Amino acid sequence: MKAGKPQTPNPKSQSEQLRETARILLKEKKADLVIGYERGSSKRRARPVVIRDEKDVGRLIFDDTCGPSLVPFLRKTLRAAKDRNSKSQTPNPKAVTPLRVAVVAKGCDGRALVQQIAEGQLKRDQVVIVGVGCDGIADQRRGASGEKRAASCERCRYPNPPVYDVFVGEPVEVGTGDEFAGVAEFEKLASAERWAWFERELAKCIRCYACRNACPMCYCEECFVDQTKPLWLGKSAERPDTTLFHLVRALHSAGRCVDCGACERACPLGVRLALLNKRLEREVRERFGYTAGLSMEATPALATYSEEDKQEFML
Amino acid sequence: MSSSLRIAKPDLDELVSALTSRYRLFGPVDVDSATMLREVKSADELALGAALDGPVKAAFFPQTETLLTYDGTRSEAPPGRDKPTAVIGVRPCDARSLLLLDKVFGTGKYRDPLWQRRHDDSLVIGLGCSAPLETCFCNSMGSGPFNAEGSDIMLTDVGDAFVAESCTDKGERFLKTAYKSQVQRPSQADLDKAGQARSKALAVLAPAADYSGVKTALAKLWESALWDEIALGCLSCGACAYLCPTCHCFDVQDETVPGTQQGRRVRIWDTCQASLFTKEASGHNPRPGSKERMRQRVMHKFSYFADNFGETACVGCGRCIRLCPADFDVRLVLERVMAEDRRPKTGDRATKNEERGTKKDVRHAG
Amino acid sequence: MPDNPYVPIPVRVQSVRVESDDRTLRTFDLAFGDDAEPFEYLPGQFCQLSILGKGEAAFGIASSPTEGESLRFTVNRVGTVTTALHYLKEGEELGLRGPLGNHYPVEKFKGQNVVLVGGGFAFTTLRSLATFLLANRSDYGDITVIYGARRPGLLLYRNELAEWEKRGDVKVHLTIDEPASGWDKAVGFVPTVTGKVRPSPKDAWAVVCGPPVMIKYTMPVLLDLGFAQDRVYTSLERRMKCGVGKCGRCNIGPKYVCTDGPVFSYAELASLPEGF
């Protein structure tokens, strides 16, 4: 299937195993519903699906088209259930068993779930993590050959979720090499060239927030772009505003981004914004020795401080 | 009297020059992996073959547009454009959308002078779709890959050339005045190829779906739990609205240069999917969740617009499907809506839906 | 309305006063600027008040066209624009776009009785309507005003209400939510008080203006009293931007509150999907 990958999971059998796993989870009432992927608007697209009934598990698939992160959809589902519970006629809503949702998690999505738990956004017992080893999502932008993987996937070092309740299929062998090589390459460019590259990417941005909404870590109820007191930036799609939006979002994602690449894949115009996040990921790792999404207990890097923190930027 | 010309592809620049001398010209331009609408000055900038990843409405209703500039308490509307606007390489779906948007901006109690300034005297050079995509459903929305509605001139790609046909008087006048000499008529071979392109396109396109039952179905599904289910598959970003040829919602913001009293009041594309779209200063939001907002989107396009203007606000371009990060498919929504309507109903929900029409439920005003 | 409906005309603060005891409400009388043409309007219409650099907000016109050329607005301070408005002093300039929206069907009311039911600071356009009706008194039958607020200090236009109470040709029923010292009038929510007043539906029209919850509970009272659905009117609010039916924000079903409304009859609303 993919040249040069020794342990390639056979997508068909992985999908079949996934369906069986989902069926058992529902049958044994270990989960009230399963969020996964189904075939989408074409053979090369997948979309999220919520399976509530064993008879529907046949819709589940897993392959290199399963690009969107399911975490935002998980949050929506949990939120919708919570809203329904609070409106329900039950005399004691707290006695209603909270919804247990099973979610299919690639390595990156699994890390995102761990990070959300670490950030207090999710309780471990709310979610049944159905881990799948991921071989990478196909780069489907025009001009890319169908075989090539998305940029984040090419440099991925966490193809298997670190925490899971059940693992479907074979774990994928972890890639080797420097995951920050692309960042280092980029840094070799002169400052003006880097800015020119960045401007060219931003020229495509239409401020649709697909990147933000697709991101498993962007869960703020009120995003900084919507705040008016103070007004941090304008709402237009003109360069100063789009520049600020992407820079600030990257900073807000620093130490939290799991480089799933959902943002870049979500962008309808193919803006290559994941590089920005990757650069900051390296920064956090170097400064604070912290990698997002690996420990449910560790305090997120930018949520704490240590006296050993470097302060060379302060004179 | 309709003219038909042959424009060899290497000679496209002549057409473009004729356009740019009279108009501010926009067309599809490749920008890395995307094709976006941009102002163009020469033919080699154009990427006519690719599917546009944004709406042509941007040429007439830009994403960011200054309503007025101000200095202290004085304000001024921006000066008018000196050249009218033209767009080349417009697919029939986008061309038709301009007619629909004109109903919003160009009719009614108030006319939008910014739209009119760009849209009046504009020229639309359409391009027939020889290779519709899987996500195209223009034929289900009253259009088609070679539909001429909204185009002044229609180009058909016949391999080494375009056959250009005028569709309106304006288009005819342009072709007559722009090419004083060297006018080539299309050969029979050209016309045959054009015909083949049309047939092929129709064959590639999925058969037209019958969505005629959607509006009546929607009227009965206001309270339906269907909307909760549908909304789960949407990320509530703004991609679909900003890519959509017929979406016209906008926000108005004042932007002041810091430290001064000077600035501008701009209008910016907005989307009904944004959580703040209808949020009032009191904090009350009539559309508090993605369910209500999704319902609004579908009903605006497939019901309310038809109530107000007699047509559905969808041209079947499919961009909202092709480029949606969640692969949300509006066609499936329409099918679900019609299926839900056909489903035999039992229980309270059905009774409530029916009573709604007879205004019996006086206490449930909201 | 000028050719460009987005450009405000200049107006000037002629006078301003604090309207409520908690200072959240201020009433402005605005005079048309030197370069501006005074316009005609009818009760029920609204304007977008514009503060360049801050934005715009929609306000029902509280003055009646029978009162002269200046326009009256009462502004509740809740956000950026309204705060900026509250800081305006006499003589200062701002912008205005109007008159926007439709109006109360005063033509239909001619020769008939009119019942005005208001709550809180939504009484603005009802002041316009009441003043208009009283200025053309002989054109109308009985005029009844039922108006309530949380407490006395939140009632708008208290001096005028007192004057109306003294007149013999209009029935005024004021109410507050809970007893307060010094208040010897009715106590109770507006829908309840409306039920007690029992205005007759015979040859009568009703106009209800208030917060969504008040409208929601007052409508059934009027309908139970026998008012026909097409004889009860209300004025709705939605977040607005353009105010002229283009930006798509303020719709309730296929109707835009800024152009098809803000005045709607209950009959029209009953056929619209979205509520208040």
pLDDT tens for each residue of C203-247: 999 999 998 889 999 999 999 999 999 999 999 999 999 999 999
Burial of B257 (0-12, 13-18, 19+ CB in 10 A): exposed
Same domain, A158 and A38: yes
What mean pLDDT comes out for the span C62-70? 95
As a CATH number, domain C106-235 is 3.40.50.80
Residue A304 placed within a domain:
no
Which pLDDT value is given to residue B346? 61
Same domain, A264 and A196: yes
Residue A130 placed within a domain:
yes
Q: B362 — contact with chain C (CB < 8 Å)?
A: yes
Picking from B75, B105, B278, the nearest residue to C239 by CB comes out as B278
Q: Are strands C113-119 and C204-209 parallel, antiparallel or unpaired?
A: parallel
* CATH class label, C9-99: mainly beta
Which pLDDT value is given to residue A6? 45
Is A1 a residue whose pLDDT tops 60? no
Share of chain C above pLDDT 90, in %: 93
Same domain, A59 and A148: yes
Chain B interface disruption, residue of A38, A41, A73, most B CBs within 10 A? A41
Same domain, A210 and A241: yes
Confidence of residue B353 (pLDDT cuts 50, 70, 90): very low
Q: Which residue has the higher pLDDT, A231 or C2?
A: A231
Same domain, A49 and A115: yes
What mean pLDDT comes out for the span B33-44? 96
What mean pLDDT comes out for the span A270-295? 95
Q: Under an 8 A CB cutoff, do B33 and A77 touch?
A: no
Mind giving me the DSSP string for C208-247? EES-HHHHHHHHHHHHHTT--GGGEEEE-----SSSSS-S
Confidence of residue B355 (pLDDT cuts 50, 70, 90): very low
* CA–CA separation, B24 and B85 (whole Å): 5
Q: Which helix (H) or strand (E) holds C175?
A: strand C171-176
- Residues in B closer than 8 angstroms to C254, CB to CB, are 303-305, 307-308
* CA–CA separation, C73 and C86 (whole Å): 12
Q: Under an 8 A CB cutoff, do A236 and B64 touch?
A: yes
Mind giving me the DSSP string for B250-313? EEEEEEE-TTSSEEEEEEEE--TTSTTTT--TTS--SS-SHHHHHHHHHHIIIIIHHHHHSS-S
Confidence of residue B358 (pLDDT cuts 50, 70, 90): very low
Q: B290 — contact with chain A (CB < 8 Å)?
A: yes
Share of chain C above pLDDT 70, in %: 99
Nearest CA in chain C to B260: C53
Residue A35 placed within a domain:
yes
Q: Under an 8 A CB cutoff, do A47 and B134 touch?
A: no
Is C88 a residue whose pLDDT tops 70? yes
Residue A164 placed within a domain:
yes
DSSP state of B362: T
Q: Collect all residues with Cβ–Cβ distance below 8 Å to C244 and sequence separation of at least 6.
A: B109, B110, C5, C6, C100, C258, C259
Burial of A250 (0-12, 13-18, 19+ CB in 10 A): buried
* CA–CA separation, B286 and B280 (whole Å): 8
* CA–CA separation, B251 and B64 (whole Å): 10
Q: Judge contact between B26 and B94, C-beta under 8 A.
A: no
Q: Which residue has the higher pLDDT, C212 or B317?
A: B317
Q: What is the mean pLDDT of chain A?
A: 91
Is B366 a residue whose pLDDT tops 50? no
pTM: 0.93
- Full residue range of the structural domain in which residue A136 is found: 11-168
- Residues in C closer than 8 angstroms to B73, CB to CB, are 10, 52, 92-95
Which pLDDT value is given to residue C100? 97
Confidence of residue B363 (pLDDT cuts 50, 70, 90): very low
Which pLDDT value is given to residue A87? 67
Confidence of residue B365 (pLDDT cuts 50, 70, 90): very low
Is B94 a residue whose pLDDT tops 60? yes
Q: Judge contact between B234 and B328, C-beta under 8 A.
A: yes
* CA–CA separation, A85 and A138 (whole Å): 39
Q: Which residue has the higher pLDDT, A33 or B2?
A: A33
Which pLDDT value is given to residue A167? 97
Q: Under an 8 A CB cutoff, do B250 and C246 touch?
A: yes
Closest-CA residue to B328 (of B256, B239, B258)? B239
Confidence of residue A83 (pLDDT cuts 50, 70, 90): confident
**CA B208 from centre of chain:** 19
Is B356 a residue whose pLDDT tops 50? no
3-class secondary-structure state, position C154: helix
Is A85 a residue whose pLDDT tops 90? no
Residue A308 placed within a domain:
no
Is C34 a residue whose pLDDT tops 90? no
What mean pLDDT comes out for the span B38-60? 96
Is C256 a residue whose pLDDT tops 80? yes
* CA–CA separation, B39 and B20 (whole Å): 10
Confidence of residue C1 (pLDDT cuts 50, 70, 90): very low
Distance (Å) from the alpha carbon of C54 to chain B's nearest alpha carbon: 6
What mean pLDDT comes out for the span C140-146? 97
Which pLDDT value is given to residue A144? 74
Joined tokens for residue A77: 């589902």
Q: Collect all residues with Cβ–Cβ distance below 8 Å to B69 and sequence separation of at least 6.
A: B75, B76, B78, B262, B263, B264, B265
Domain edges within chain B:
4-62+79-204, 214-249+271-358
Confidence of residue B26 (pLDDT cuts 50, 70, 90): very high
Burial of A7 (0-12, 13-18, 19+ CB in 10 A): exposed
* CA–CA separation, C217 and C234 (whole Å): 13
Q: A230 — contact with chain C (CB < 8 Å)?
A: no
Number of domains in chain A: 2
Give the number of residues written for chain A.
315
* CA–CA separation, C102 and C42 (whole Å): 8
Question: How does pLDDT run across B165-191, given as a tens digit for each residue?
Answer: 999 999 999 998 887 656 789 999 999
Which residue carries 């006499």 as its tokens?
C90
Same domain, A94 and A220: no
Chains that touch A (3 or more CB pairs under 8 A): B, C
Closest-CA residue to C75 (of C63, C65, C85)? C85
Distance (Å) from the alpha carbon of A178 to chain B's nearest alpha carbon: 26
Residues within 8 A of B (CB atoms), A 38-97 only: 40-42, 45-48, 50, 68, 72-73, 76-77, 80, 83
Chain B interface disruption, residue of C12, C247, C272, C276, most B CBs within 10 A? C247
What mean pLDDT comes out for the span C257-267? 96
Question: How does pLDDT run across A165-220, given as a tens digit for each residue?
Answer: 999 999 999 999 999 999 999 999 999 999 999 999 999 999 999 999 999 999 99
Question: How does pLDDT run across A118-165, given as a tens digit for each residue?
Answer: 999 999 999 999 999 999 999 988 877 667 899 999 999 999 999 999
**CA A90 from centre of chain:** 35
* CA–CA separation, A110 and A104 (whole Å): 9
Lowest mean pLDDT among A89-93, A208-212, B76-80, C10-14: A89-93
Q: What is the mean pLDDT of chain B?
A: 91
Same domain, A110 and A212: no
Residues within 8 A of C (CB atoms), B 11-50 only: none
Confidence of residue C161 (pLDDT cuts 50, 70, 90): very high
Q: At what angle do helices C190-197 and C212-224 cross, to 10 degrees?
A: 20
B51-54 long-range contacts (CB < 8 A, ≥24 apart) are B51/B91, B51/B133, B51/B322, B52/B28, B52/B89, B52/B91, B52/B94, B53/A268, B53/A269, B53/B243, B53/B319, B53/B323, B54/A206, B54/A269, B54/B242, B54/B243, B54/B319
Q: Judge contact between B270 and B252, C-beta under 8 A.
A: no
Confidence of residue C28 (pLDDT cuts 50, 70, 90): very high
Same domain, A93 and A206: no
Q: C83 — contact with chain A (CB < 8 Å)?
A: no
- C243-269 burial: b if 16+ Cβ within 10 Å, else e: bbbbbbbbbbbbbbbbbbbbbbbbebb
Residue A174 placed within a domain:
no
Which residue carries 């039950």 as its tokens?
A90
Q: B71 — contact with chain A (CB < 8 Å)?
A: no
Which pLDDT value is given to residue A9? 52
Confidence of residue B364 (pLDDT cuts 50, 70, 90): very low
